[in-house]
Structure 1
Amino acid sequence: MRKKRPYGGIQPGIKWGPFTMRVPGVHVGFSWSIAIQGAFLSLATGGALAPLMMEFFAIPFEVAWSMLAIQLFWVWSQTLLFGDAYTAGWITPALPLIIVFLGGFTPGPEAVQAMIAVTLVVSVLFLFFGLTGLGEKFNTIIPTTLKAGIIMGAAIAAFQSELDRVQELPFTLISAWIVVLVLMFSIPFSRLPNTKIKVLMVSNAILAGFIVSAIVGIASGELAFNIEWGIFVPQIGELLATTSPWGVGWPSLSMIIASIPISIMVYVLVFGDLLVADTLLKEANKARKDETIDVNHTRTHISLFIRNIGQMFTGGVLIPLHGAMWTGIQVFVIERYKSSKKAMDSIFTGTINWYLLALPLVFLTPMIGIMLPLLPVALSLTLLLTGFACAYVAMGMVTDNVSRGLALAIGMLTAIQGPAWGIGAGVLLYFILIGKKRIYEPSSEEDEQKSA
């Protein structure tokens, strides 16, 4: 029998330490529509990691897919075991930066050790700032222009990576890009009447991109599907031997030191995600008075520490790292939650059900047969949307011409030379061009006069 929530209260669950576990069917209801969408998109986008793991860690597809199964559990744990009201995911904006960082190491054990170093430093930052509560203060110390430069670096690196990939599957990828960008960002499309078909398409923009890319890929001969029936057996032994400290050993001190600049960048990106999540959940709290959504950054930081360390020891290091929120899906869940209690009883009905079917389906070979040809599309869409979103966020953070130019310079240095160059040169240029303390912020009119 399901436990009922008092009006205006927090959704019931099993308390353990600072965390709360909520079991589907006991503490939250089932939502098969959310679970089915979540399963397909989680496997499709999660599968985008497989090509990266194969490239940088020099592992076969079977080992990379085994990692996907384990990381799905750790992603789900954020809401299922630890009690956050987030539709958890990776630190997606960090993905392009990490790709640049790993490009400086030999594929195989050396690149794995470099990723272990990043995982260790970022996890320590999560634990330190979570226990001390200094995360917000640290975030305010970093000038907005430097943050914009870091985010711009992620955008540039993301677009760079797609210039080569599009040459391999031009018709497939470009068709997927057009569909997703139109549905998610097109101004003319957004002005069309909000019919049921339009709302359905926008809510499933990524899924629509996959469907169109599959049709175009088959028609153009760029994609071919080979579906077999069976059960996938995870290659846990080989996975741990090739992608974890158990097999490749610990990174050297010099490697850990080299990972500090990118780790700081990653933490800045994570805290930005948390601020966005706070805004979304506050809007949800205003719309639904029947439930109080508990937000606790200390809990989130500690759970992110556990997720990343747990992933490293049980399923190998994860290239984008575990993050608090899958932004697009968080928006989808919250919008449905805000519509009515009938549509979604609790916020956790959405966040927990999203991953409910993904874990069992990841072991079915027919699903792998469907996903395998679409993995390049999944990776491409992930990086494209990351780049697009990071670009407009970075541009919106700076308000004068000097800051815009500096953000672009930091972004270029980060994407081309690496995070150490980006953060080092960025701090130096900030003090040279802007100074320790900005005395006067010019208006947009004065900016235009100066630029003229």
Structure 2
Amino acid sequence: MLKQRQDGEVQPGINWGPFTMRIPFVHMRFSLPDMLQGFAVAGATGLALVPYFMALLGLSFEEAVVMAMFHSLLISFSWMLFGDPYAPGWLTPAIPFVVAFITAPAYLGDHASQFQAMTALSLNFAAVLVFLGVTGLGAKLIQIVPNVFKGGIILGAAIAAFMRVTKDGDAANVFQSAPIAGTIGVVVCLLFAFSKPLQAIALRNQVLAKILGFGLLPGFIIAGTVGYFTGEFEYNIRWEILNVGDAAVSLWAKASPFMIGWPPIETFIASFPLALITYILFFGDVVTGNEMIEHAQKARTDEKLEINSSRAHMATGIRNALMGIIAPFFSTQGVLWTGIQVILLKRWADSKGKLNSIFDSIGSFYLFGLPILFVLLPLVTLLEPLLPVALAVTLILTAFACATLALSLVDDATERGAMVITAMAFSLFEPWLGLLIGIITIAGLCGIRVFMPKARETNQTE
């Protein structure tokens, strides 16, 4: 029986410690539009790293798909077992750093050492997150950050996303790999998600309203169809069911530290700086997710979305620790999938009376944590050509949403200028250097008082 929520309260669940577990069909309802979006978008994107697993780590196709399936299952723990109101995803900007780390001469060609390095990275990152979550230091850090710096981080994510989707040779550059189908797919998804004229027409046209209700799915269907007829997409369907048991056993033998041995202390030490750099990315995602939720919350007073940064730290830390011993590939367990968070929050905010809870939307998008998609190879191979479209769409939606959110955080012209410089630093340089440049820029242009919460409160009341 579905649990009912009191008006203005948090969606019911089972509390355990600082976390809240929500059971599908008990604490969350089924949403068909979000489920169909999840099949197309989450399915195609979740398979994006399969070529990396095969080329870099020596896994077979079946083992690589099972690894992606484990990652997807762990990602679902974020909202299902821990109660975070975020659409979780990868810490995508960290992936190039991770690939560079495991292809260094010390690890290149030695797959066991590469997996040990991934385990060390995951456990180091988990330790940092759990420590900051348990002590509450992570939440305090997020609270004291001024809006101008938050805006710089969020706008930096927007610029980085746009730069990646237009970069030559990148898997996300669908304009290069499939210019006709990719462009049409991206444009349709962007219009359906944000176009005010279309939304105004949908108020008078029920057919269009139902189409827009399916979010990104129509764009993917159109792109896939156009790509087939233009020859840009080739579908090689495998009519098989994945033998999960055999693939999981062989993956465990190749990757788990219980089988190949635990990383030596030297690997833990060497990987720790990258774990700290990744925390800056995590911090930025938490800031972005919180601001998005607070912005959307104004439209839905019937459901309170509980933001708890300490919980997000601990939950992501636990997921990284589990990933590091089951299917180690670092940075696949982040707190936020920005582009999808935008879509799901917008649908929730616009669907009062139709969509009961944000968890209905998130749960359905992630197929209630059931990774059945990865078992059905006909679906896996059907979605494979759409991977560039999925990456491009999520990155462009991320860029658009982050830019609009960042620009709304500050009103002062000097702060906006400092925010843009900070954003450029975050998008062009390594995270630690972007952090340093941002702090110096904001302190120099806006004054050191913006980093002092009491001083900011005094200025706001004057």
* Fold match by TM threshold 0.5: yes
The 5 Å alignment of 1:340-379 reads 340-356=351-367, 359-379=371-391
How far the C-alpha of 1:65 sits from its partner, in A, is 0.6
Q: Shift of the alpha carbon at 1:255?
A: 3.4
> Partner amino acid for 1:106?
L
Q: In the alignment, does 2:432 pair up with 1:423? A: yes
Q: Which residue of 2 aligns with 1:127?
A: 130
Q: Distance in 2 between matches of 1:164 and 1:326?
A: 19
> Matched residue of 2:34: which SS?
helix
Q: CA deviation at 1:425?
A: 9.4
Does the CA-based 8 Å contact 1:13-1:27 persist in structure 2?
A: yes
| 1:269 alignment counterpart | 281
Q: Any residues of structure 2 matched to 1:246-325 within 5 Å, and which? A: 246-314=258-326, 316-325=327-336
Deviations 1:387-421 (A, max 9, x none): 7878999999995889867865675453xxxxxxx
> Is residue 88 of structure 2 the alignment partner of residue 77 of structure 1?
no
2:181 and 2:227 in contact (8 A); partners too: no
Could you tell me which residue of structure 2 aligns to residue 36 of structure 1? 36
CA gap of 1:86–1:407, structure 2 versus 1, over 3 A, is closer
Q: Does 1:7 align with 2:7?
A: yes
1:355-381 CA-partner distances (Å, limit 9, x unpaired): 226522321222123123334544565
Q: Which residue of 1 aligns with 2:233?
A: 223
Contact 1:152–1:408 (8 Å) recurs in 2: no
Q: Give the SS at the match of 1:15.
A: strand
Which structure 1 segments of 5+ residues have no match?
A: 415-421, 442-452
Take 1:351 and 1:119, find their aligned partners in 2: how far apart are those partners?
A: 25
Change (3 A) 1:389 1:320: farther
Instruction: Choose 215-224 or 376-385, whichever is displaced more.
Output: 376-385
Residues 242/181 of structure 1: CA separation in 2 closer, same or farther (3 Å cut): farther
Check conservation: 1:97, 1:157, Cα contact below 8 A. no
Question: Residue 419 of structure 1 aligns with which residue?
Answer: none
1:106 match = 108
| Pairing 1:116–2:119 present | yes
Tell me the distance in 1 between the aligned counterparts of 2:181 and 2:415: 34
The question of whether the paired residues in 2 share the 8 Å contact of 1:180 and 1:205 is answered with: no
Residue of structure 1 aligned with 2:169, choices 163, 166, 171: 163
Q: How far is the alpha carbon of 1:88 from its aligned partner?
A: 2.0
- Partner AA of 2:130 in structure 1: L
Structure 1 residue 223: Cα displacement: 3.2
| Equivalent residue number for residue 244 of structure 1 | 256
Q: Distance in 2 between matches of 1:246 and 1:112?
A: 12
Residue range with higher mean Cα deviation, 350-359 or 186-195: 186-195
Cα pair 1:183 1:202 within 8 Å, conserved: no
Q: What does residue range 365-404 of structure 1 map to in structure 2 within 5 Å?
A: 365-379=377-391
Letter matched to residue 330 of structure 1: Q
Cα distance between partner residues in 1 of 2:180 and 2:295: 35
SS at 1:238's partner residue? helix
In structure 1, what is the equivalent of residue 86 of structure 2? 86
Question: Taking structure 1 as reference, are residues 141 and 247 closer, same or farther at Cα in structure 2, changes over 3 Å only?
Answer: farther
Higher mean C-alpha deviation, range 212-221 or range 38-47: 212-221
| TM-score, with structure 2 as normaliser | 0.76
2:18 matched to which residue of 1?
18
> Does the CA contact (< 8 Å) of 2:122 and 2:323 recur in 1?
no
In 1, Cα distance between equivalents of 2:7 and 2:407: 42
Please state how far the C-alpha of 1:149 moved relative to its aligned partner: 11
Residues of 1 paired with 2:87 and 2:172: CA distance? 30
User: Kindly tell me: are residues 272 and 198 of structure 1, through their superposed partners in 2, closer, same or farther at Cα, counting changes over 3 Å?
Assistant: farther
TM-aligned CA distance change 1:97 to 1:379, over 3 Å:
farther
Q: Which stretch has the larger CA shift, 175-184 or 385-394?
A: 385-394
Deviates more, 1:198-207 or 1:131-140: 198-207
Distance 1:194 1:261, change over 3 A: farther
Displacement after TM superposition at 1:213 (Å) = 4.1
Distance 1:224 1:328, change over 3 A: same
Per-residue deviation, 1:192: 5.8
Query: Residues of 2 paired with 1:335 and 1:149: CA distance?
Result: 19
TM-aligned CA distance change 1:404 to 1:76, over 3 Å: closer
From the superposition, tell whether residues 166 and 119 of structure 1 become closer, same or farther in structure 2 (CA, over 3 Å).
closer
2:225 is matched by which residue type in structure 1? I
**How many corresponding residue pairs?**
431
Cα gap change, 1:203/1:92 in structure 2, threshold over 3 Å: closer, same or farther?
Answer: farther
Q: CA offset at residue 127 of structure 1?
A: 0.3
Q: Which one is further off, 127-136 or 200-209?
A: 200-209
AA paired with 1:179? G
Cα shift at 1:63: 1.0
> How far does residue 123 in structure 1 lie from its aligned partner after superposition?
0.9
The letter of the residue matching 1:355 is Y
For 2:263, give the aligned amino acid: P
Q: Would you say 1:335 and 2:311 are equivalent positions?
A: no
- Superposition deviation, residue 128 in structure 1: 0.9
SS in 1 for 2:7: coil
Root-mean-square deviation (CA, aligned residues, Å) is 4.1
